[in-house]
Chain A
Amino acid sequence: MLKYFVKRAVLAVITIWIVATLTFFLMFLVPGGPFLAEKAPSPATLAALEAKYGLDQPLHIQYKNYMLRLLQGDLGTSLKQRGREVNDIIFTRLPVSAKVGGMAIVVAVVFGVFFGSIAALNRGKWLDNLIVFLSTCGIAIPSFVVSTLLLYFFGVKLEILPTFGLNTTSSYIMPVFALAFYPMSYISRLMRSCMLDVLGQDYMRTARAKGLSQMKALFKHALRNAILPVVTYLGPLLAYALTGSFIVETIFTIPGLGDSFISSITGRDYPLIMGTTIFLAFLIVTMNLLVDIVYKVIDPRINLR
């Protein structure tokens, strides 16, 4: 186990390094630059800015410099939000996103697993049909529509929930729901299908045949086996949920990290692109490692070596 862990940790570092390298060269290949604007700056200004931020140097030198600074934990300063440090942007915005995203994940997992299991156990009945119908709708409606409609009905028409910021407890309701809607529906669909799979397995018959109670068979065997794909889905989802959603944060004016991912790219804010990507890579790699270990623990048959 320890050996496996060490191996994966080394691999994680290599993965992050590859992601950083790929992103670095990719972003310089993409046309446009951080200092472009509707009104073009003068060539002198542009040259001075590029010199100031080291963008005038050959790419491989820039790459070397960046990697050296990265090793010291320095992600540089933003080129768009002049003077702001990338570290600062990530770590002041992360807690906000993580809080909303974390709540959304808890809601999505708890209700998703619950509804999915209920649907599977009542297969073909009205309850199953209702859950399938609702969860399919949940997948069919994208988050920008869900968020806008929530805002439209609960915020503006009924005026029962605040439409922006996170000033009161009630202001969490809409963003959390908007974020949880899709994964909840997805998990419930996934859970239902896996549960059906498991219920048809021979060991479930065996369990029942050898005399286990319904509940015991369900919790000891069914849930445990059915939840594997959900765990798989959860790993990367968790990384994304913690780092926020551009759409939901924009619509509900939440000062989270989500919009940094998109705006850094559209603004060609190179250090911020690198910073957010490396941070996300770190989260994803960690989550996937955890997921793999959880697999092993939930299902001892899996041999990860």
Chain B
Amino acid sequence: MKQKSLLQETENTEKPQWKLSFHLKADDFMPASEEEKQDLVTIRESVNFWQDGIRRFRKNKMGMISLIVVLFMMFFAFVLPYFYPYNYYEQIRGSESLAPFEYSETEKAIMAEGGKVFPHIFGTDTLGRDIMARVMMGSRISLLVGIVASAIILIIGSIYGAIAAYFGGWVDTIMMRIVDIIYTVPDILLIILLSVTLKYPLERLAEMPTFAWINKVGVGLISIFIVFSLLYWVSMARIVRSQVLTLKELEYVAAAKALGASHSRIIRKHLLTNCIGTLIVTTTLQIPSSIFTETFLSFLGLGVSAPMPSLGSLASAALDGLYTYPYRLFAPAITISIIILAFNLLGDGLRDAFDPKLKD
């Protein structure tokens, strides 16, 4: 049957491409033509994995733009606050609940005398704090948590998942049941418990010279990272496991084994490298949920303490006044969306550049 169709001649000279659009063409159901088959034959040059990836990433327009946006957001969150005329905790008397670009009476008086007043771009909140300044500071916390926590999740989750799948059998079964358990025991219970128990030991620890860095990062953030490394890597582990389960049955793994590669080498060099696409995408998808988990943790008393804002806490506070001050939701929500969009597109770009399966 198949032999026959191979012989069939078609006029179709279009390049083969996978598509599933709303416009179905009869051609889509036709067997592949000779040219189409020929087109699939390519010769690849041999270059170093990383060099190759970076070279290809540079050529990716979307990826480069999102990289620039990410760098800009970092600048916005980490550098700009030092030069901004307002800070996140300063409560300006008389400037409470201003709308964007509205000036208070005192500020108007200063301007009338020829003085300059920096505008409140997104207005001020109930206590007279500049919302723009708070959004910048909030971005700092959210970016930090988003990136670091996602990295923690990536490391723990991928190693755990890969080990479980690679060794399989009882190892896999036991390891995955542990994942089930972590997944099911109510996280709020553990968080509340940690929120009352973690703080004082950490502060004590920070007093010791070796651990002075804890104070720099902040006890709140450290507690958040501890919770992430205890609880939230399990989905990542499950996804990586599912990928490795398939990959480990492929020929090159058998080949590597036959050549005497060690387990850790196979996991690192062959299995994880080959799930890099999934790893990048899942990690970028993890960033928003890390950002919002921070809000939830801070609410339960584990995390950054007021008046330090985060984008999530700004958004949730803004919901309380949605009908009267709808614009208060705008600034944090847009900032979160930009950050997440940029990271996701960056992730896509990286994946296009580094995924060994996507070379063409």
Give CA–CA (A222, B281) in the complex, Å. Answer: 19
Considering only residues 263-305 of chain A, those with a C-beta below 8 Å from chain B are 265-266, 273, 277, 280-281, 284-285, 288, 295, 299, 301-305
Closest CB in chain B relative to A130 CB, distance in Å: 13
Per-residue CB contact flags for chain B residues 25-36 toward chain A (1 = under 8 Å, else 0) read 000111110001
Give CA–CA (A299, B250) in the complex, Å. Answer: 12
Dominant SS among interface residues on chain B: helix
Give CA–CA (A139, B284) in the complex, Å. Answer: 10
Closest to A190 in B: B281
Say yes or no for A72: interface residue by CB 8 A criterion.
no
Closest CB in chain A relative to B36 CB, distance in Å: 7
Contacts of B20 in A (CB 8 A): 117-118, 121-122, 218
Give CA–CA (A161, B339) in the complex, Å. Answer: 32
Say yes or no for A197: interface residue by CB 8 A criterion.
yes
Contacts of A218 in B (CB 8 A): 18, 20
Contact B30 A213 (CB under 8 A): yes
Say yes or no for A133: interface residue by CB 8 A criterion.
yes
Contacts of A18 in B (CB 8 A): 181
Contacts of B322 in A (CB 8 A): 148, 152
Contact B6 A136 (CB under 8 A): no
Counting residue pairs across A and B whose Cβ atoms lie within 8 Å, the total is 198
Dominant SS among interface residues on chain A: helix
Contact A211 B177 (CB under 8 A): no
Contacts of A22 in B (CB 8 A): 181, 185
Contact A26 B190 (CB under 8 A): yes
Contact A189 B285 (CB under 8 A): yes
Contact A201 B357 (CB under 8 A): yes
Contact A190 B285 (CB under 8 A): yes
Contact A232 B180 (CB under 8 A): no
Contact A213 B28 (CB under 8 A): yes
Contact A137 B316 (CB under 8 A): no
Contact B193 A30 (CB under 8 A): yes
Contact B292 A142 (CB under 8 A): yes
Closest CB in chain A relative to B290 CB, distance in Å: 12
Closest CB in chain A relative to B114 CB, distance in Å: 42
Contacts of A235 in B (CB 8 A): 238
Closest to B336 in A: A140
Closest CB in chain B relative to A290 CB, distance in Å: 13
Give CA–CA (A152, B341) in the complex, Å. Answer: 25
Contact A26 B193 (CB under 8 A): yes
Contact of A284 among B184, B235, B243 (CB under 8 A): B184
Interface size class of B (residues with CB under 8 A): 35 or more
Say yes or no for A212: interface residue by CB 8 A criterion.
yes
Closest CB in chain A relative to B337 CB, distance in Å: 5
Say yes or no for B308: interface residue by CB 8 A criterion.
no
Stretch of A74-82, A170-178, A202-210 at the chain-chain interface: A202-210
Contact B189 A228 (CB under 8 A): no
Closest CB in chain B relative to A238 CB, distance in Å: 13
Closest CB in chain A relative to B154 CB, distance in Å: 15
Say yes or no for A107: interface residue by CB 8 A criterion.
no
Say yes or no for B333: interface residue by CB 8 A criterion.
yes
Give CA–CA (A261, B169) in the complex, Å. Answer: 34
Say yes or no for B355: interface residue by CB 8 A criterion.
yes
Considering only residues 328-360 of chain B, those with a C-beta below 8 Å from chain A are 329, 333, 336-337, 339-341, 344-345, 348, 351, 355, 357-360
Give CA–CA (A210, B337) in the complex, Å. Answer: 45
Contact of B29 among A15, A145, A215, A265 (CB under 8 A): A215
Contact B180 A288 (CB under 8 A): yes
Per-residue CB contact flags for chain B residues 179-202 toward chain A (1 = under 8 Å, else 0) read 011011110111011001000000
Closest to A194 in B: B278
Given contacts A29-B193, A189-B344, contact A295 B242 (CB under 8 A): yes
Give CA–CA (A141, B335) in the complex, Å. Answer: 11
Closest to A265 in B: B188
Closest CB in chain B relative to A70 CB, distance in Å: 16
Contact B183 A26 (CB under 8 A): no
Give CA–CA (A286, B160) in the complex, Å. Answer: 22
Say yes or no for A214: interface residue by CB 8 A criterion.
yes
Contact B37 A209 (CB under 8 A): yes
- B residues near A (Cβ < 8 Å) are 2, 5-6, 16, 18-21, 28-32, 36-37, 40, 168-169, 173, 176-177, 180-181, 183-186, 188-190, 192-193, 196, 235, 238-239, 241-243, 245-246, 249, 277-278, 281-282, 285, 288-289, 292, 312, 315-316, 319, 322-323, 329, 333, 336-337, 339-341, 344-345, 348, 351, 355, 357-360
> Can you pick out 29 interface pairs between chain A and chain B where the beta carbons lie within 8 Å of each other?
A23-B186, A27-B189, A117-B20, A121-B20, A122-B21, A139-B288, A140-B341, A141-B336, A145-B329, A148-B319, A152-B322, A152-B323, A197-B358, A200-B359, A208-B40, A209-B40, A211-B5, A213-B30, A214-B19, A215-B28, A229-B242, A232-B238, A232-B241, A233-B235, A261-B186, A265-B192, A281-B180, A288-B180, A299-B246
| Extra contacts besides A140-B336, A213-B28, A262-B188 (11): CB < 8 Å | A142-B312, A145-B319, A190-B285, A197-B355, A214-B19, A214-B28, A235-B238, A236-B183, A265-B186, A299-B246, A301-B246
